Structure 1
Amino acid sequence: MSNDDVPFETTLLVRDTCLCLHVQRAARVLARTFDEAFRPVGLTNWQFSLMMALNRPEPPGIGAVAPLLGMDRTTLTAAVKPLQRRGLVAILSNPRDRRSRLLSLTPEGRALLTQAVPIWKQVHAGIESGLPEGGDGLRADLVAVSLPPKEWGHSAR
């Protein structure tokens, strides 16, 4: 073993303590669980989340939705395209600023979301029932981690 090798003990430490690893693994399991649950209505968990973000009294701008979903505007625009092709989401010109776009659920999108919400409620309740505090502590911790890194009390390198 050379001096440049990372000791196996470090690998075990990362495996057991790395927040990023544990969040990614949990996210994958949750994503697969919800993808399977939403399959009968033809949605993925990501599409459900995106459509829920658009379920507002007034159509939001792309710039308002992107940070809510933790993504940039370009990625959001690409994610909307399949829903737009299916007639579930419309991209509208903003009457106050023709350069910006608004995202709106179509009547078909609202109808599909109405079918999907009971599925989400059932699956979500089942997951929460198995968590300490019904998931409140986990949710609070995830909200804290989703803040920009400068708010964590150190500077990211």
Structure 2
Amino acid sequence: MTITSLAEVSAMDRTTMASNLKPLAREGLVSVETSAVDRRARVAAITSDGRDRMEAALPLWRAVQAQFEEGFGADEATRLRTSLGAVLRTGFEPWAE
């Protein structure tokens, strides 16, 4: 996925996304290469080490999500996620200004 596309789906500025990927690339968890299709674009991909690390972290992430819902309330957590999704769908990009 291009860094620009990844930033868009993450609701993040492209430059910030590129900066956030650098330590992951240094650790060998992602690769960032020039696109073969568009030499101006950079493409990020998860490596096998990155996939292993992600799979190891997934149970921890799920536990934190469950803890959040327990403390905040499952219905409130659902409403919060729905509201945040609605904000993202508006296309509001404060960093684009």
Bigger Rg, structure 1 or 2 = 1
Alignment of 1:1-150 (within 5 A): 60-130=1-71, 131-133=73-75, 135-146=77-88, 147-149=90-92
Q: Which runs of 5+ in 2 are unaligned?
A: 93-97
* Residue identity matched to 2:54: L
Once the 2 structures are TM-superposed, how far is the Cα of residue 138 of structure 1 from its aligned partner?
1.3
The TM-score normalised by the length of structure 2 is 0.81
Q: Distance in 2 between matches of 1:107 and 1:148?
A: 33
Q: Distance in 2 between matches of 1:70 and 1:111?
A: 25
Q: Distance in 2 between matches of 1:141 and 1:99?
A: 35
Once the 2 structures are TM-superposed, how far is the Cα of residue 93 of structure 1 from its aligned partner?
2.1
Q: Which runs of 5+ in 1 are unaligned?
A: 1-59, 150-157
Q: How many residues get paired? A: 90
Once the 2 structures are TM-superposed, how far is the Cα of residue 115 of structure 1 from its aligned partner?
0.5
Q: Secondary structure at the match of 1:91?
A: strand
Q: Distance in 2 between matches of 1:95 and 1:117?
A: 32
The TM-score normalised by the length of structure 1 is 0.52
Once the 2 structures are TM-superposed, how far is the Cα of residue 82 of structure 1 from its aligned partner?
0.7
**Partner residue in 2 for 1:3:** none
The one of the two structures with greater contact order (alpha-carbon pairs below 8 A, sep at least 6) is 2
Once the 2 structures are TM-superposed, how far is the Cα of residue 134 of structure 1 from its aligned partner?
5.9
Q: Secondary structure at the match of 1:92?
A: strand
Q: Distance in 1 between matches of 2:62 and 2:55?
A: 11
